Structure 1
């Protein structure tokens, strides 16, 4: 059984910070679950263009407000606590947190992350062993 608390992750190597987001990585490839789980903060005013070419991702918003823009269709979907979206086609998108708020997201990746990935120039995570 794996049991972790956010307090055990903050400030460790599993706490990955960047200009637009902070990802606290709970379940990693090394845990052998076949997926990874992150508690991610999308920082206030962030405007993040991403395209996970190597991963599928499901995201559940538990705090804050923003939007996701599907760059393939031009559709914009509002995000608030209780909203889930799944990037089931490696969808190229822009994720935006509204001014005055951040968004807190629970993110599940397949294949699982190893823990230290950062977005490359295309907005994707590389597949690391």
Structure 2
């Protein structure tokens, strides 16, 4: 059984920060669950151009607001508490923070190792455990 408290992750290598995001990696590849599980904070007014070409991601908003724009279709969807979106086709997208910071709960498949940050395409590289 794995039991973790988010407060024990704050300020450790499991809390990864980038330009316009903070990811608290609660479950990683080495935990053996077949997915990774994160709490991600997107500040108000942030704009992230992302393309998880190596991962599928499901995201559930538990606080705040923003939008996600599907770059293939041009559609923009509102995100707020209670909304889930799934990038089931490795979708290129723009995630925009709204008037409040968004708190998102995310699952990645394949799982991340914890060392990943976004590359120039807004993607995570596939990293093998050592």
* Bin of the TM-score, shorter chain as denominator length: over 0.9
Please give the residue correspondences for 1:73-92 in structure 2 after superposition, counting only pairs within 5 Å: 73-92=73-92
Q: Which residue of 1 aligns with 2:18?
A: 18
Tell me the alpha carbon deviations over residues 87-107 of structure 1, each in whole angstroms, 9 at most, x when there is no partner.
Answer: 000000000001x31100000
How many equivalent pairs are there? 128
TM-score, L = length of structure 2: 0.97
TM-score, L = length of structure 1: 0.98
Provide the C-alpha distance between the structure 1 equivalents of 2:28 and 2:86, rounded to a whole number of angstroms: 19
Provide the C-alpha distance between the structure 2 equivalents of 1:116 and 1:30, rounded to a whole number of angstroms: 12
Please list every run of at least 4 consecutive aligned residues from structure 1 whose deviation after the TM superposition is greater than 2 angstroms.
Answer: none
2:60 equivalent to 1:60: yes
Provide the C-alpha distance between the structure 2 equivalents of 1:68 and 1:113, rounded to a whole number of angstroms: 22
Q: 5+ unaligned residues in a row in structure 2: which ranges?
A: none
Q: 5+ unaligned residues in a row in structure 1: which ranges?
A: none
